[in-house]
């Protein structure tokens, strides 16, 4: 039996992130094809929630179902065990994606060569930067007309605020695209548009090899040599250490749809990407190789079937060996629990597992015990720090329209907030409940789910607000004075912490300059 360390070292747990349409689903599918996890293209369903579907509730439910099915995809590739964690592309579910990023050890960012860095990618990169997550960038759709690769590199650096280092380089682009030179392996891959065909590789000794001229023509070969010289001059040599520290992002070019550049990406990825890393808990840093099992819940997904009020809690194993039916401690409640039917996700199938290792994700059927961020251990009092909640961007008052169902509503709101669908604040002045989200669609989902899963009907009332920020101060008097002055705009979050609800950017800026003793935080972890 392989030891714990071997199991840890062969694991690669990562997420692919991109702006919608850059090619995340296509790339995921091609990676699964290489891993033998699927056999036909088209097998991976996109979990995109389409904007047009917002009024069609069944459609949203269906789409949410797809997203649970594709939440984690595990497969073996050579000696490696790879876990891909899926992230919803739709920006209304950005919180979901942020939290998924707490459970991965590295990230692959997909960028469309024509569109460059788009808004959603920029935001997600901020989260990676906060956590020093190593990132690899895949510039996709080289078979289409796009931008000059040097311009793309400059844009990646400027927009994602990270140094980049190309590890492959395209020969032309669009209709004239001929292939990529793999800097990492010193090889030349020729492009043939194809959905399944394996790339044709030209054996070469080095960049001066005349076989390159023969393969792509003298003119393009000369340009390639010039480009590579420039790259070697401008970009420092690639350092795996800097990549692992989140300081430099290696860049690959290819076309996911044509399965081109994908295997090279994967081969480099398994070599350089980190195996499960130490995770910091409030109390101490936990090494994956410790004997005792520990893990945390990073995602909760409600059951699709409203008649079964059960959820799946997704637990990332952080240390030790997870075993089915072993007594584990749910730290927040202090309860000892045994998990009789933990599921793992291999290929496209979900099945009950007897054990899991650091880097793996286990799905635990749950009836309301778990909250996002909960820690499970073999007994130790540990609290993993999840990702902070970010200040939401849209706010509405939530109003009960059926007084007979107040209890159900309370429970429903409670559970949906545990799932991390949105954030709840209570205005201290008028006692009204405020729901904050990152997108309009979430209000619709909440209303729908409250009705269908809890039998509670609600109405939204508009609330014009710019930002909710957590406040604190070392000076209790200054804090009291501020709260008194702003009493109409003070709320508390679910943990009872003070939140200032600024109705405009101007008001917020004034408050910040008028009350220097107060610290304003835009995420809940400070």
23 part of the interface to ligand GDP, by CB under 6 A: yes
For 116, the 3-state DSSP assignment is strand
Cα–Cα distance measured from residue 503 to residue 488, given in angstroms and rounded to the nearest whole number: 11
Helix runs in 217-349, H state only: 218-234, 240-244, 262-272
396 part of the interface to ligand GDP, by CB under 6 A: no
Query: For residue 119, which phi and psi values (nearest 5 degrees)?
Result: -55, -50
Does 484 carry a binding-site annotation? no
Stretch that binds ligand GDP, among 19-27, 245-253, 276-284, 320-328 (CB under 6 A): 19-27
263 part of the interface to ligand GDP, by CB under 6 A: no
Token pair for 68: 């649970």
Q: Which is nearer to ligand GDP, 45 or 383 (CB)?
A: 45
From 141, 105, 98, select the one nearest 269 (Cα to Cα): 105
90 part of the interface to ligand GDP, by CB under 6 A: no
Nearest approach in angstroms of CB 272 to ligand GDP is: 23
Distance of CA 336 to CAs 47, 100, 339, 427, Å? Answer: 35, 26, 10, 36
Token pair for 395: 């706010």
Which member of 67, 70, 121, 255 binds ligand GDP (CB under 6 A)? 255
Non-local CB neighbours of 53 within 8 Å, separated by 6+ positions: 59, 60, 63
Stretch that binds ligand GDP, among 140-148, 209-217, 401-409, 431-439 (CB under 6 A): 140-148
| x-or-dash string of contact with ligand GDP, 37-66, rule CB under 6 A | ---------x-x------------------
Does 142 carry a binding-site annotation? yes
From 68, 14, 61, 11, select the one nearest 45 (Cα to Cα): 68
Does 92 carry a binding-site annotation? no
Which member of 14, 17, 18, 300 binds ligand GDP (CB under 6 A)? 18
24 part of the interface to ligand GDP, by CB under 6 A: yes
Which member of 70, 71, 100, 140 binds ligand GDP (CB under 6 A)? 140
Does 172 carry a binding-site annotation? no
Q: Which is nearer to ligand GDP, 28 or 319 (CB)?
A: 28
Q: Which is nearer to ligand GDP, 23 or 149 (CB)?
A: 23
Region 468-497 residues binding ligand GDP, contact defined as CB under 6 A: none
Nearest approach in angstroms of CB 117 to ligand GDP is: 14
26 part of the interface to ligand GDP, by CB under 6 A: yes
Q: Which is nearer to ligand GDP, 91 or 457 (CB)?
A: 91
Does 467 carry a binding-site annotation? no
Q: Which residue is listed with tokens 């994606």?
A: 97
94 part of the interface to ligand GDP, by CB under 6 A: no
Which member of 9, 20, 123, 444 binds ligand GDP (CB under 6 A)? 20
Region 172-211 residues binding ligand GDP, contact defined as CB under 6 A: none
For 515, the 3-state DSSP assignment is coil
22 part of the interface to ligand GDP, by CB under 6 A: yes
Helix/strand/coil percentages in the chain, nearest 5: 30, 30, 40
Q: Which residue is listed with tokens 């088209």?
A: 42
71 part of the interface to ligand GDP, by CB under 6 A: no
Does 18 carry a binding-site annotation? yes
Burial letters for 428-466: b for 16+ Cβ neighbours within 10 Å, e otherwise? beeeebbbbbbbebbbbbbbebbbebbebebeeeebebb
Residue 405 CA neighbour count, 13 Å, CB half: 17
Nearest approach in angstroms of CB 132 to ligand GDP is: 25
Nearest approach in angstroms of CB 31 to ligand GDP is: 12
393 part of the interface to ligand GDP, by CB under 6 A: no
Cα–Cα distance measured from residue 428 to residue 450, given in angstroms and rounded to the nearest whole number: 24
- Do the beta carbons of residue 522 and residue 469 sit within 8 Å? yes
25 part of the interface to ligand GDP, by CB under 6 A: yes
Query: For residue 414, which phi and psi values (nearest 5 degrees)?
Result: -50, -50
Does 455 carry a binding-site annotation? no
137 part of the interface to ligand GDP, by CB under 6 A: no
Does 521 carry a binding-site annotation? no
For 427, the 3-state DSSP assignment is strand
Does 308 carry a binding-site annotation? no
- DSSP label at 75? E
Non-local CB neighbours of 131 within 8 Å, separated by 6+ positions: 101, 102, 246, 387
147 part of the interface to ligand GDP, by CB under 6 A: no
The neighbour count for residue 480, using CB atoms within 10 Å, is 11
Annotated binding site: 18-25, 86-90, 140-143
Which residues are documented as binding site for GTP? 18-25, 86-90, 140-143
List residues binding ligand GDP (CB under 6 A): 18, 20-26, 46, 48, 89, 140-141, 143-144, 255-258
């Amino acid at each position: 039996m392989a030891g714990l360390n071997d199991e840890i070292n062969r694991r690669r747990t990562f997420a692919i992130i991109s702006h919608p349409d850059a090619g995340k689903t296509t790339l995921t599918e091609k990676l699964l094809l290489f891993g033998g996890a699927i056999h036909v293209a088209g097998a991976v369903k996109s979990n995109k929630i389409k904007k047009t579907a917002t009024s069609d509730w069944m459609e949203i439910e269906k789409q949410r179902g797809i997203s649970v099915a594709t939440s984690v995809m595990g497969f073996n590739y050579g000696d490696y065990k790879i876990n891909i964690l899926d992230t919803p592309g739709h920006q209304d579910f950005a919180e979901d994606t942020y939290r998924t990023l707490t459970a991965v050890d590295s990230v692959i960012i997909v960028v469309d060569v024509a569109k460059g860095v788009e808004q959603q990618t920029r935001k997600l990169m901020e989260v990676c930067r906060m956590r020093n997550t190593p990132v690899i960038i895949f510039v996709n759709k080289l078979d289409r007309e796009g931008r000059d690769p040097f311009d793309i590199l400059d844009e990646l650096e400027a927009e994602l605020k990270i140094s980049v280092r190309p590890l492959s380089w395209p020969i032309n682009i669009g209709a004239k695209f001929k292939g990529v030179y793999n800097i990492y392996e010193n090889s030349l891959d020729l492009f043939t548009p194809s959905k399944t065909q394996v790339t044709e590789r030209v054996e070469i000794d080095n960049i001066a090899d005349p076989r390159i001229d023969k393969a792509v023509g003298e003119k393009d070969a000369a340009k390639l040599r010039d480009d590579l010289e420039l790259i070697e001059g401008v970009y420092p040599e690639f350092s795996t250490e800097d990549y692992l520290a989140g300081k430099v992002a290696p860049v690959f070019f290819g076309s996911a749809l044509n399965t081109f550049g994908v295997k090279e990406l994967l081969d480099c990825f398994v070599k350089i990407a980190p195996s499960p890393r130490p995770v910091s808990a409030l109390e101490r840093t936990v090494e994956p190789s410790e004997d005792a099992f520990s893990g945390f819940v990073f995602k909760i997904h409600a059951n699709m079937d409203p008649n079964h009020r059960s959820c799946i809690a997704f637990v990332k194993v952080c240390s030790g060996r997870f075993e089915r039916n072993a007594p584990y401690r749910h730290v927040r409640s202090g309860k000892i629990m045994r998990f009789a039917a933990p599921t793992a996700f291999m290929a496209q199938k979900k099945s009950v597992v007897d054990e899991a290792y650091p880097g793996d994700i286990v799905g635990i059927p749950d009836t309301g015990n778990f909250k996002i961020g909960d820690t499970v251990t073999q007994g130790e009092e540990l609290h993993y720090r999840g990702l902070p909640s970010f200040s939401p961007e849209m706010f509405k008052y939530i109003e009960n329209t059926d007084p007979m169902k107040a209890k159900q509503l309370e429970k429903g709101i409670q559970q949906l907030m545990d799932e991390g669908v949105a954030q709840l604040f209570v205005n201290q002045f008028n006692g009204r409940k405020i729901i904050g989200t990152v997108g309009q669609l979430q209000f619709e989902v909440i209303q729908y789910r409250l009705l269908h899963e809890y039998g509670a009907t609600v109405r939204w009332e508009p609330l014009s607000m710019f930002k909710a920020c957590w406040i604190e101060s070392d000076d209790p008097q200054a804090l009291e004075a501020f709260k008194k002055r702003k009493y109409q705009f003070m709320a508390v979050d679910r943990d009872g912490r003070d939140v200032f609800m600024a109705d405009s950017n101007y008001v917020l800026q004034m408050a910040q300059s008028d009350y220097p003793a107060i610290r304003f935080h835009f995420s809940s972890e400070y």
